Amino acid sequence: MDKVIIKSTSEKGRGVYAVELIPEGVTIFEEQPLVSCQYSWNAAYGYLACEYCLRPLETAERNAQRLANNPCVMLPRTECCPVESNLANHTKCVRCGAMYCSTDCLQEAANRYHTAICLGSEIQNELHPVNVLVDFWKKMHYPPETCGIMLFVKIIGMFRQTADPPALQDQLQDFVHKSVNEDLLIFHKMLGEKFTHQIEQLYELFSKAFNFESDKRLSWLTLDRFKSLVALVGTNGQGIGTSSFGDWVKNVTESEMSEPERQAVDELIDDLYTKMDDVVGSFLNNEGSALYARQSKINHSCAPNAETVFPESNHMLALRATRDIQPGEEICISYLDECNLQRSRHSRQKTLKEYYLFICQCEKCESQINDPDETSEEEEDDDDDDNDMEESD
């Protein structure tokens, strides 16, 4: 039986509520996405992930060599790397070479969207309209990316392949929508202000690449509907990060070993993370984004009682209780990172308004309603850094 139900309130719209006591640490639900993809820059920089589920395809050792820019790196305890034991199952699309972690993923992608969008040998042709489109996107959206263009390409593939287009439309309509004005603000956040007007050009490129006018299954996708789709993904897209080195570190840390071996492994890990920091900074993971029907109904709280995790190191999401949750209580995650979450009410509200376009009405914010409008010191420091950077530009 489900541990949760969805209910609506006038303050926050739909939300997810517990129907039974959910103890701390328990998985509330697991969910596969409607669609997921790796970011285009991430793939271009050589991060190897399953085209369907984003599971890493590089062994932890190879991953560490690449990220530390040192082909001599050797990792002990290779059995702690889940990719090693799965290498024999890796497979490719015979037409375009897209890589998958298993025939199940290859088959699932082919059944859902890949057959309709596979470029075959044209994948290498820079002038192919789909490659032009991806390139245009990459120029609009340098890393760190917040949205994957391939999500839209895959959604188009789904419309071309589905036996029931209205049902797919309904699935998309079920994600929370914004007004036209808010759409514009979302484009600013997603693309940067100077690129907002290029949304029309992006539409033209999509229309050309996939023949919107002549394809009956896509003719509904007018410019306005395309803009709504982009805004929908901007509002509901969930970031995903997977890493074979990260998985190896987790498994090796949990393994039993002698004190001297533990010390050597810990030193190696510290050393590698330091080198990776020099070479790739914070870009350690195979990164991408996905749309989750159920998870996208979860509201934000500045005192959350649940968190989103990816326990299988692929796009399968799990919602986990971070404390005991009572029957009837709303289940909330934090849309803010740990650092922003610790700031004053004023600072938290400002960030949520700016990046998520809503005024937070969580219990913590309501209880601090009489707090003075003080900006957190950390935020002032960040603002000062931003100003310094702008001045030196």
Least Å distance, CB 298 to ligand SAM, is 6
Contact 283, 349 (CB under 8 A): no
| Sole binder of ligand SAM in the list 296, 305, 349, 376 (CB under 6 A) | 296
Q: What is the crossing angle of helices 149-161 and 129-140, to 10°?
A: 150
87 binds ligand SAM (CB under 6 A): no
Least Å distance, CB 15 to ligand SAM, is 6
The residue (of 70 and 173) whose beta carbon lies closer to ligand SAM is 173
The residue (of 266 and 329) whose beta carbon lies closer to ligand SAM is 329
Residue 175 is given by DSSP the state S
The residue (of 15 and 82) whose beta carbon lies closer to ligand SAM is 15
> How far is residue 190's CA from residue 39's CA, in Å, rounded to a whole number?
13
Residues 249-288, interacting with ligand SAM (CB under 6 A): none
**Residue labelled with tokens 């419309």:** 159
| Sole binder of ligand SAM in the list 114, 297, 315, 320 (CB under 6 A) | 297
Least Å distance, CB 289 to ligand SAM, is 13
The residue (of 155 and 156) whose beta carbon lies closer to ligand SAM is 155
Q: Interface with ligand SAM by CB under 6 A: which range of 202-210, 246-254, 339-347, 352-360?
A: 352-360
The residue (of 273 and 356) whose beta carbon lies closer to ligand SAM is 356
12 binds ligand SAM (CB under 6 A): yes
Contact 375, 323 (CB under 8 A): no
| Sole binder of ligand SAM in the list 55, 90, 227, 300 (CB under 6 A) | 300
310 binds ligand SAM (CB under 6 A): no
Residues 205-244, interacting with ligand SAM (CB under 6 A): 236
The residue (of 29 and 358) whose beta carbon lies closer to ligand SAM is 358
Residue 67 amino acid letter: L
Least Å distance, CB 148 to ligand SAM, is 18
The residue (of 38 and 236) whose beta carbon lies closer to ligand SAM is 236
Tally Cβ neighbours within 10 Å of residue 20. 12
> How far is residue 12's CA from residue 197's CA, in Å, rounded to a whole number?
31
Residue 125 neighbours by CB under 8 Å, 6+ apart? 119, 131
> How far is residue 324's CA from residue 288's CA, in Å, rounded to a whole number?
31
The residue (of 248 and 292) whose beta carbon lies closer to ligand SAM is 292
Q: Which two tokens stand for residue 53?
A: 């589920």
Residues 167-206, interacting with ligand SAM (CB under 6 A): 176
> How far is residue 23's CA from residue 167's CA, in Å, rounded to a whole number?
36
Residue 58 neighbours by CB under 8 Å, 6+ apart? 47, 48, 66, 83, 244
- Measured between alpha carbons, how far is residue 334 from residues 1, 25, 342 in Å? 26, 16, 11
**Residue labelled with tokens 């007018």:** 222
Q: Which two tokens stand for residue 279?
A: 């070479």
**Residue labelled with tokens 């509330």:** 28
Q: Interface with ligand SAM by CB under 6 A: which range of 13-21, 109-117, 159-167, 283-291?
A: 13-21
The residue (of 320 and 348) whose beta carbon lies closer to ligand SAM is 348
Chain position whose Cβ is nearest to ligand SAM: 13
Residue 21 is given by DSSP the state -
Size of the site for ligand SAM (CB under 6 A): 17
Residues 356-385, interacting with ligand SAM (CB under 6 A): 356, 358, 360-362
5 binds ligand SAM (CB under 6 A): no
> How far is residue 351's CA from residue 178's CA, in Å, rounded to a whole number?
18
Q: Within 13 Å, how many C-alpha atoms sit on residue 310's CB side?
A: 26
Which residues of this protein are in contact with ligand SAM, per CB under 6 A?
11-15, 176, 236, 296-297, 299-301, 356, 358, 360-362
